[in-house]
Amino acid sequence: MAWSRKIVLTLLGLLVLCSQLLEGAEEDPAAASNCTEFQTTTWKQYLGDNKLQVQYLLFTPRNRNCASIISGGSIEEIQATNFNSSLDTKVIILGYRALGKKPSWIDGLVQALLNAADVNVLVVDWLYGGSSVYSVVVQNSQELSVNISIVINNLIALGSKQESFHFIGVSLGAHVAGFVGSLFDGKLGRITGLDAAGPMFTKASTDMRLDPSDALFVEAIHTDIDNFGIRIPVGHIDYQINGGKDQPGCTTSQTSSIFLYFPVFGYMICDHMRAVQLYISAISTPCSLLAFPCQSYEDFVTGKCLNCDHPFGGSCPRIGLLRNGGITVNPLPKEEVFMLTTASAPFCAHHILVDLHVTQLRSSSQIQVTLTSEGATQSHSQFKLQRGMTRSKMVMAHSTMLCKIDSIQLKNTGTRFYRKDEIKIVKICISDVPSDRNESLCVENIELTEGNPWSHDFVKLCN
């Protein structure tokens, strides 16, 4: 059993190594700030037993582009920086970094936070100690949480309030944030877990992973629950983005050419890192990333959960810097919520409900629905119609709101290439989700033959 566990952990380390190699291959060295001095490791250190070494990079409104390096985190050292105890403090904790390289996304997240509000941004650089075999790094994460807690205590001694701290943890860093929060009895203000790591944590007890008791508000954004991300809920609000897996725009074709023989790794790391990209977009752009409570992703996309009346009193949770995700109910629930996104930044999508009424079908079939806005922007989705059904609903992601949709196209893609099935559509309606005005666009009496697309132009409703 011991040898079997060792083999599994070694394979797991190699798997995540390949995925991290892919992420590193996409980094643009020219984009890194010359002032931000991250630690680095070597292959010799990776294969060895990395001891934990931590330094802190402090950005403030007075030094937005050039970090103050805090090596030990002592009160005297902090006092020599631009740290402002009257401001909220955002603490960024990196995840596992196999090659010990600075993440390509870190500068973007730091600047997005500073652009959104006057805050201190503290980046926890533990690349040396976070860049070894995965199981070793997980062990180091416990020691790291104690190290971070000492620095936080010193910041509190300088006047910061516990509730003013917001931890943003990426992958394994999300659990580190949870460990720190538990050391403060859950009284830190907020933890945002960006696709919290799954390997070695999914079956762990709550005191060994991120959970809602670790801060006053804990939110988790899930984008890769079938690979590197954790499968279980870990927050007050758990955002399941596109069902928590298989993110649009993440395909094997995006894999770097140097990993031609390992395309699956490029696909998986794309899903995993989408949580980070999505969060940066959410705090950088004005569009709202709304999510809806539901029992399952299937129920959500089939139109069974169209509002946020329960348990949020009508206020849908939103990704971003809003207090408690825009949730006003008290006490905070523990709820999974679902949303759709587009395939590229800024990722925000309008949720459009398609409500299809047909005459009773003699056999199963399939209809492709295409929505078009501004003459070019399109979104597609497939309706699977079962024999005997007369109505079907589906929620689609579209880049514009209902009132800007120009046209709808239907195509009977069918299931039998030798038979031209005809589908008689009694009515098809599209509407915004959620809808304040209950407006919808409808078309009636459509005969759809396989292979012959049907389309209809709408009069725009926007003023």
Contacts 24+ apart (CB under 8 A), 375-378: 375/406
Residue 244: DSSP 8-state: G
85 catalytically annotated = no
> How crowded is the C-beta side of 50, counted as CA atoms within 13 Å?
35
350 catalytically annotated = no
| Residue with token string 């011991």 | 2
195 catalytically annotated = yes
Angle at which helix 106-116 crosses helix 263-284, to 10 degrees, equals 10
DSSP codes of every residue in 181-222 = HHHTTT-SSEEEEES-B-TTTTTS-GGGS--GGGSSEEEEEE
| Residue with token string 């031609």 | 260
Residue 56, CA distances (Å) to 123, 274, 368, 450 in order? 6, 25, 52, 62
Give helix then strand counts, H and E, for the chain. 9, 18
Beta bridge partners of 287: none
Annotated catalytic residue: which of 88, 125, 132, 195?
195
Annotated catalytic residue: which of 272, 350, 351, 398?
272
Q: Which amino acid is residue 9, in one-letter code?
A: L
Number of Cβ within a 10 Å radius of residue 298: 11
Annotated catalytic residue: which of 131, 141, 160, 171?
171
- The rounded distance, in Å, linking the Cα atoms of 345 and 207 is 35
> How crowded is the C-beta side of 286, counted as CA atoms within 13 Å?
0
- Asked if residue 205 lies in contact with residue 226, where contact means CB atoms within 8 angstroms, the answer is no
Residue positions annotated with a catalytic role: 171, 195, 272
